[in-house]
Amino acid sequence: MRVVIAGGHGKIAKLLERELAERGDSAVGLIRNPEHAAALRATGAEPVLCDLEHTDVDTVAGHLAGADAVVFAAGAGPGSGAARKDTVDRAAAVLLADAAQRAGVRRYLLVSSMGVDAPPTAGRDEVWAAYLRAKKAAEVDVTGRDLDVTVLRPGRLTDDEPTDRVTLAPRVPPGPVTRADVARVLLALLHAPHSAGLTLELVGGRTPIADAVAAADRPPAG
């Protein structure tokens, strides 16, 4: 499987790239800083210079040629303002969907966030509120297309060691989850075709990742 990952230098993306390479799949990471290329090569991924905030659909579609799936794991990151939450967390996800359709790549995994369905708490940081609005808008746009989309909403992210045990369902209580476990869930979802069309929340738990994804991957009855 050839997988193109937007936000290829992000923490989750690099973990996923390594997981893909170890499985024998092919990972391509879209990056905007050429200095990040060596870090991607170290994971076994192919770096491709592509700034999703300053490009067009045809260019991105060209990078998706021959791909079996795309993963949107990009984010404006800490320290960015509300404007970049929109241009990255929403607009770049939409651009990737446009490009996937142009390139004929049906499988799309969107890394979103828990909490996007609830209005931000009054008095909460406006940048955080903008982030949640952008993630929700991206979900609405991408899931409304003729693509095989799975939305993954992780809880509070940590850099702890992976546990390989999670809670994965359309609705779960809030909680933390390691970035490494998020990457492993993404890898499993890429190989779980019946999870297309689902929006799944993810936190740490007691169920082995393989079992949790298999439960989500059951084909519809009838």
- Tens digit of pLDDT for each residue in 94-120? 999 999 999 999 999 999 999 999 866
Starting from the edge strand earliest in sequence, which strands make up the sheet with 148-154, in order? 46-49, 26-31, 2-6, 69-72, 107-111, 148-154, 199-204, 165-169, 207-208
Res. 70 pLDDT band, cuts 50 70 90 = very high
Contacts of 108 (CB under 8 A, 6+ apart): 69, 70, 71, 72, 96, 97, 100, 142, 147, 148, 149, 150
Instruction: Classify 37 as helix, strand or coil.
Output: helix
Q: Looking at residue 219, what is its pLDDT? A: 63
Over residues 135-156, the pLDDT tens digits come to 999 999 999 999 999 999 999 9
Single out the residue of 39, 34, 49 nearest to residue 13, CA to CA. 39
DSSP β-bridge partners for residue 177: 157
